[in-house]
Structure 1
């Protein structure tokens, strides 16, 4: 019995020493104070479980430099070009540059994201538009197809796209495919084997192998990118699965995707090539094939492709949103499925609204993630108090990730307005400097508002106490979600 007591005592002492060491680690890394306090609370208040959560989800790989973009040799050319653009930005003749100079300069500095001004964009407003365009473009591929998705399912839609990929690979087209191991958890080995047998080069991004690689399970590739022949690119909110086309139990799936032609495709391609290197250790160097010259007279829309994730030194997309919000003079329209913006963006939005700017935020009335749903709702009271107009979309599930500001800035991409997208996930977003494209996005946003319930402070204050309790509890975990 004495030995048993000694063993229990030793285990308890070891556990408390681990807790103290973990708390010291969090403090030593000088994290964002709110996230640091949240992790300390989790570790202390959830015995044993809290330590496990920290090991799996709490590592800060941006600070640890585990993912290093500087190893990619092809990035040096783009880094040189970004320095040149910084020196010459005042001489750009494109009309969008003057009104967005600060945002463009920011992205050149924090992300080496080149400004491209020769693009043609097509805004795709649902699964039917997106997949019809994508399937047609894939069938036309002549030299290369590069695609990466967070979620790819082997259902009817996924099966149709896979058959195209196999046929193209057999005909000599280079097909490369990256899927995220967590998002595409259901893909079977025989599915992957069948693609490889057809000549498709398919790799998993950061596989999770228990127990060895679980410390990186928190850092996922949330990007949706397709680049065809180095000339046509797609990105936005839609993954590959039937529900994105046919809807879910919540109704039709409302989303926004983007087709790009022009030099911005090179930046999407470079993002894919970087992710390919992370997934395989192989650098693809045939620039003539993978960075094909942009089609002449593709268009005149100015675009910067911004990426963020643990491979970058800065929270690029969050910083760009912060700069854009602070420049607003008339209105800000935001649609996001998950809203946990962090203190800086939340303050920027409140200040804008209290300064007389028309700030409207569209959220889904129902969600596919309960804790995120309640955490998002926990911000609504203070949004309404700051005179921000909040709308709940009721005609299905709105998964669009868009922002428009005044008449000259808009964004479409993969990043939600939450800490996970800003800090942890690999994300990509197109920053668009064009009044015509911005107007098209805004017109669809205003159309979507007709399918929303506009919240009032009186109506919101009348919700049940149980709802308020769920919001308050979920809010405690919002810095970690």
Structure 2
């Protein structure tokens, strides 16, 4: 009943909007148009009040609730449509209950019985062991000590490895991306996928309907005509009537023959190769995975595929990766987060990493919009003498998150956090390194959207060679960055302070 009431309200709002837009064409022929506009004003005011009550009863975080109240009170018309497009949270749990249940069953069936070497677990410190236990409890994916990983720095190295692995595929290719472009690298990948499908390789291609909204119909049609199964994730036909529009699949996953996987920050597009003149050089990080942890990536993909197609593919043929030669690689754990989980998994693991630090916390994120828990944990760590660093792009690709992020800088700098602006190009890596031995790399940014709204996937690494490579890359990135100085930052223009504060006000909604 409640959902139908909201849908009816949205339908009336659309009709009224059309009525207002076309007003200049017919108002000369209708007498008494003023009372109609007055009725519209009353309607939207009552709608804003009704939405305010709904938000209040949802018991969101106080900052989110107050932000919505301000937006609805100051801009009833704009606030109404903005809420209908991006703010509805009242049925999130119910929408994804079934997906959460089937995902948990899949991980329990194939991952919970995985044998864990006690000697490997003992080499971990107590504080780090607790983190991986938390990750396993929340994400259902156990840590693996039989997984080899390789850090791929930037687009050239990443696409070279992915293209080679695609060409060598013999049984199946599973790909899942947020953004797919119909440009040079997009066409290269499409050509390989089409060739492999014609050779009899099973090719499944899942792309986010909103992130890839510019992807041409011809691109998809050619894939499908060649035998590639290309499926959009949560397609949006009538945005105002689709309460899933705000929950997007931000994952970037490639699994080939169940033996090699890729995960990280790069989507499919020429800008990730530094070929977009707007962004120039593009700094990003991806991870190649071989061994047990590929099964976790495979399950994440197969469950996303099932949620969109109803096709069950949890079969040993897909879930029996080749295990590398016996040696200690360190610990690797793949964790999926999203609105289908009871807990904000990625956020809680980031928080656990931060409070577990003994010496250092190094963060790279293109969007830094933390909640109070993360913000206070970083400030307390810095005040305690821990080396806390934040590497952030010097120029934005999205202005609102960029300026919202900068609004957090003064309090961090005052607490002793070292903030560096990357100036060689645009920085898109999503990295956390703790004590030079524990790291997270994946698709999740340090922001509210990744914590609460997007479907994400991150690899958590403990004492792997990839962790050391991430440390080396971070040090190199600092060479291409300049530190922010609190006194100088305070002297930035008044215009920027207003812009940051305004963006900060909307940060709970980002």
SS in 1 for 2:436: coil
Q: TM-score, normalised by structure 2?
A: 0.89
Please say which structure displays the higher CA radius of gyration: 2
1:318 to 347, 359, 368: 347
SS in 1 for 2:146: strand
1:274 aligns with 2:279: no
With 384-393 and 216-225 compared, the bigger mean Cα shift is at 216-225
1:221 aligns with 2:244: no
- Distance in 2 (CA, whole Å) between partners of 1:441 and 1:52 is 43
Match of residue 500 from structure 2:
471
Q: Could you report, residue by residue, the CA deviation over 1:330-382 in whole angstroms, capped at 9, with x for unpaired residues?
A: 00100000110111100000000000000010000001101111111111111
- Distance in 2 (CA, whole Å) between partners of 1:424 and 1:296 is 36
- Distance in 1 (CA, whole Å) between partners of 2:112 and 2:307 is 25
With 458-467 and 356-365 compared, the bigger mean Cα shift is at 458-467
Using a 3 Å threshold, how does the CA distance of structure 1 residues 329 and 423 change in structure 2: closer, same or farther? same
Match of residue 438 from structure 2:
409
Deviation at 1:265?
0.7
SS in 1 for 2:457: strand
- Distance in 2 (CA, whole Å) between partners of 1:11 and 1:77 is 50
Match of residue 342 from structure 1:
371
Match of residue 176 from structure 1:
204
- Distance in 2 (CA, whole Å) between partners of 1:117 and 1:217 is 38
2:260 to 207, 232, 237: 232
Deviation at 1:113?
2.2
With 418-427 and 15-24 compared, the bigger mean Cα shift is at 15-24
Alignment of structure 1 residues 344-363 onto 2, 5 Å? 344-363=373-392
Match of residue 446 from structure 1:
475
SS in 2 for 1:191: helix
Match of residue 50 from structure 2:
21
Tell me, yes or no, if the aligned pair for 1:220 and 1:424 is still in contact at 8 Å: yes
Using a 3 Å threshold, how does the CA distance of structure 1 residues 251 and 94 change in structure 2: closer, same or farther? farther
Tell me, yes or no, if the aligned pair for 1:303 and 1:431 is still in contact at 8 Å: yes
2:294 to 238, 242, 265: 265
SS in 2 for 1:67: helix
Structure 2 unaligned blocks of 5 or more? 1-29
1:58 aligns with 2:87: yes
SS in 1 for 2:218: helix
1:149 to 173, 177, 192: 177
Tell me, yes or no, if the aligned pair for 2:207 and 2:232 is still in contact at 8 Å: yes
SS in 1 for 2:95: coil
SS in 1 for 2:316: helix
- Distance in 2 (CA, whole Å) between partners of 1:103 and 1:71 is 22
With 23-32 and 77-86 compared, the bigger mean Cα shift is at 77-86
Deviation at 1:21?
1.5
Tell me, yes or no, if the aligned pair for 2:293 and 2:334 is still in contact at 8 Å: yes
- Distance in 2 (CA, whole Å) between partners of 1:256 and 1:267 is 20
Tell me, yes or no, if the aligned pair for 1:72 and 1:283 is still in contact at 8 Å: no
Alignment of structure 1 residues 39-118 onto 2, 5 Å? 39-60=68-89, 63-69=92-98, 73=102, 75-79=104-108, 93=121, 95-96=123-124, 98-118=126-146
Matched length = 479
Q: TM-score, normalised by structure 1?
A: 0.94
Deviation at 1:210?
2.3
1:290 aligns with 2:318: yes
Q: Could you report, residue by residue, the CA deviation over 1:383-402 in whole angstroms, capped at 9, with x for unpaired residues?
A: 10010000000000110000
SS in 1 for 2:468: helix
Using a 3 Å threshold, how does the CA distance of structure 1 residues 342 and 359 change in structure 2: closer, same or farther? same
Report the RMSD for the aligned CA atoms in angstroms: 2.2
Deviation at 1:459?
1.3
Deviation at 1:63?
4.4
Q: Could you report, residue by residue, the CA deviation over 1:44-90 in whole angstroms, capped at 9, with x for unpaired residues?
A: 2112110111111012267432013557657425226776689x897
Structure 1 unaligned blocks of 5 or more? none
2:272 to 226, 239, 244: 244
SS in 1 for 2:105: helix
Deviation at 1:250?
3.2
Deviation at 1:281?
2.2
1:370 to 369, 393, 399: 399
